[in-house]
Structure 1
Amino acid sequence: MPIFLFAAGSNARGQLATGTRNDAPAFAPCHFVDIPADANAVLRVAGGANHTLVLLTRGGRRELWGCGDGTRRQLGEALEETTVFCPMHIAHPGGEGWVVKDAAAAWETTYVVTTDGTHDSVLAMGGGDHGALGAQGAVASQAAHVVDVASAVGDTRFVVEGIAAGPRHVMLRVRTSMGHQMLVGWGAGRHGQLGTPHRAVVHTPRSVAADDEGDVASIALGSQHSVFLRSSGKTVVCGTDRVAQTRGLDALESVRSVGCTWGGTYALRADGALFAAGKNDRGQLGRPGAGDAAPAGLVAFPRALGGRRITRLVCGSEHVLVLIEGEGEAEVWGWGWNEHGNLGVGHTDDVLVPQKVWPSNDAQKHWRPVDIWAGCGTSFIAVQDAED
């Protein structure tokens, strides 16, 4: 499908790609510089503190584009700051033959998974605070460098099955050439979010133990906690539970999707039931007035989404979006922190109960939402012509 991307929220450095540096309390179209006609899908949007990455396909090939703040080289070698999406130029230290496979963003750091067709490598660039660059002593990276994942997994011919980044730590799901899955992480670990015995900054990649009960299908990271979703539908957690953000998760079964805000966790079960735990000072749990922490244990989410099926769940820093579908229609609903207008509802008051955010007017009804992403005070919706 042709690329149509809309954004709302924080935009002080142009990270919404709307052509300005003004916050957007309502969804506005993103702009791409000289977008090629054969660019036909957005695969992923990842947001850091003030920069945004878009992984798109062009003629069957994946490309990485970026916007916002690039002063610490988190947008590659050529972009310092831009208010529209521009192609990122990243020279792989290994030379030619490496292509982009996936990407993620931490606070001021960018991670790019690349492949040569047989095995993968992970590049890091940008700010290195709290060990974010995965290299001992690195504070800032002027060029992309290869993170030494091979030493952590004991194999140079590994494949990255997934990458997740919180504001200060990052984790990979890695498959070795022998077929074994390993979890690898680095960055901030003082609260145990990189597992035990790591209780400090982890400057270089290390294996992360998550017991031996089967493969991990996905990973979600908060500020000080991590959640692993196993293929079996069970979850494993590590890190702090100071605001009840992990409490009760181990009791859930048949989970098909997990997400983390900085201080909360969300689990979508296969039957469509949504559960949440953690902070609720800004309405993150979809109910007003619970204070800084959720009630003891996991809470079932209010059923205020029209009884339709949730097909996708995404979490920003302290706000949540879901894509719901039914009877041939699709809508985006959201709730939580909204100081920068990041929920796109036209104002900057926090949204304490789930509210439909797309479509919100007759013009938007022409565009069917097909995917959603959320970042640090930002939200993105990919849409296509409803008649296509």
Structure 2
Amino acid sequence: MEEEERRNEAHEKKKEEKAFKQRIWSWGAGTDGQLSTGTLQDHILPQLLHHPSLSSAAISSLACGGAHVIALTSAGKVLTWGRGNSGQLGQGELTNHVLYPKPVTSLDSFFITHVSAGWSHSGFVSDNGCLFTCGDGSFGQLGHGDYISHCSPLKVSYFVNRLVAQIACGMRHSLVLLKDSSMNQVYGFGFGKRGQLGISKEKLKSVNIPEVLSGFEDKEIVEIAANGDHSAAVSVDGHLYTWGRGFKGCSDAHSPQLLNSSLSFTKATLGWNHALALTGEGEGFMVGGNHLGVLTDPKNLNPAKQPSENLRETNMEKVPGLDGIKISDIAAGAEHSALVTENREIKTWGWGEHGQLGLGDTSDQMSPHTVSLGCELNETESIRIFCGSGFTFALTMHSNPSQH
């Protein structure tokens, strides 16, 4: 009898694990509904979300913007919520805030594979390489050849005969990466005064049609990133390039600049004043200065004495306190940072005014502190982390590939 009970318990446990998809937590700034908690308020501790639209669909990725969020499902569908006053939610109307995830139905006939959320605009890429944008277009950041805002995703006609792989939306600019393209891989459009478009040495105010970046002719780019007035790209051989507004001590760069490092990077994420980069060995590094969200030794706060061409190397430092612990994921908010360790711990630091660090208070932190999700993780769960301008999301995934 006991043996049968054990078998039944094991059977029930397997059923539960099979039914498990993922769990999602949010914390930080919530006054625009971006946390999807059903309230218009900040939360200083992680909130486990229970909305049916999130629990009934397998969420494969999130994109967090100024105050809105885009969720991408494994079935290629898109959900959005949060601030929508510029049309960035893509739901066909302007709205101050949407409290819960709503489907972007105009994209239902496409299988979306990549999404990005800027300060107040959004981008979506389909499996057949089409690009759609919506939201604030006042700087040309939608790429439609005008400065008009749109509240429904509109196909970017410039790329109609090309295959788009990724879009990265910054504060007022956008980057696009083409797939299977040995030439003319990366394009920029939108606000360009700080060099973030990477298309001209002149101080361009704005460009409303995509223009190709120079400098990547003999490089294969695999990932692009944008936030604030910054841009970045990672090449297949692990090189990290940055351009746009200069980090601490650096002048603005109007074309991609190679970070002078022997490290091999796999991912880069940008804040308003800093960048985080992850190596293939699971080490995290920061580029930037003495601003919240960036760790730095107080004795290094003075402008560096080296010539400016060396500053890109001297400004990089390793995330401390993680010796011997590998990092599996990184994310940068406007002025805060987050990472996930190989043993599935979430650590945050930086600006904390809205509770975006998830530590139970609104204090700023200059070193990584561990976030408690308030529950034990299933042994099959892995974690990904996502940051908006003042808020954070954690998404657990089932480690069984069939569940992704």
The 2-side partners of 1:65 and 1:7 are apart by 16
**Deviation beyond 4 Å, 4+ runs, structure 1:** 33-36, 178-181, 245-248, 286-296, 364-369, 384-388
1:172 corresponding residue in structure 2: 176
Q: Which structure is higher in strand share?
A: 1
Secondary structure of 2:139's aligned partner: helix
Give the RMSD, CA atoms, in angstroms. 2.9
Q: Deviations over 1:110-159 (max 9, x none)?
A: 111124xxx32111111113222212332321432211333xxxxx4322
Return closer, same or farther for 1:257/1:9 CA change in 2, 3 Å cut-off.
same
376, 384, 390: which one aligns with 1:377: 390
Partner of 2:308: none
The 1:90–1:287 alpha-carbon spacing in structure 2 relative to 1, beyond 3 Å, is farther
- 1:33-58 superposed Cα distances (whole Å, 9 cap, x missing partner): 45574x22x2221122221111112x
**Equivalent position of 1:254 in the other structure:** 264
Structure 1, unaligned runs of 5 or more: 151-155
Q: Does 1:87 align with 2:103?
A: yes
Pair member with larger Rg: 2
1:288 CA displacement: 5.7
SS at match of 1:90: helix
Change (3 A) 1:261 1:292: farther
1:59-138 paired onto structure 2 within 5 Å: 61-78=75-92, 80=95, 81-90=97-106, 97-115=109-127, 119-138=128-147
**Structure-1 residue corresponding to 2:236:** 231
CA distance, structure 1, for counterparts of residue 317 and residue 247 of structure 2:
20
AA in 1 matched with 2:25: F
Structure 1 residue 323 and structure 2 residue 333: aligned?
Answer: no
Q: Give the length in aligned residue pairs.
A: 365
**Identity fraction in percent:** 24
For each residue in 1:253-283, what CA deviation from the matched residue of structure 2 results, as whole angstroms up to 9, or x when unmatched? 3222222111112222233333222132325
Deviation at 1:181, TM superposition (A): 5.7
What is the 5 A alignment of 1:22-37?
22-35=41-54, 37=56
The answer as to whether partners of 2:183 and 2:217 remain within 8 angstroms in 1 is: no
Map of 1:334 onto structure 2 = 348
In 2, are the aligned partners of 1:222 and 1:264 still within 8 Å (CA)? no
With over 3 angstroms needed to count, the CA separation of the structure-2 counterparts of 1:384 and 1:225, relative to structure 1, is: closer
Q: State the 1:104 CA deviation.
A: 0.8
1:284 pairs with one of 289, 294, 304: 294
Distance (Å, rounded) in 2 between the aligned partners of 1:248 and 1:226 = 12
Distance 1:109 1:292 in 2: 36
Whose helix proportion is higher, 1 or 2? Answer: 2
Normalised to the residue count of structure 2, the TM-score between the two structures is 0.81
Q: TM-score, normalised to structure 1's length? A: 0.84
The residue matched to 2:270 in structure 1 has which SS? strand
SS at match of 1:62: coil
* Shift in alpha-carbon separation, 1:36–1:348, aligned structure 2, 3 A: closer
- Looking at structure 2, the residues matched to 276 and 351 of structure 1 have their Cα atoms a distance apart, in angstroms, of 15
Query: Once the two structures are superposed, what CA deviation does each residue of 1:340-377 show, in whole Å capped at 9, x if it has no partner?
Result: 11111111111111111145x5x355685521111111
Contact 2:382/2:398, CA 8 A, preserved across alignment: no
Gaps of 5+ in 2: 1-19, 306-310
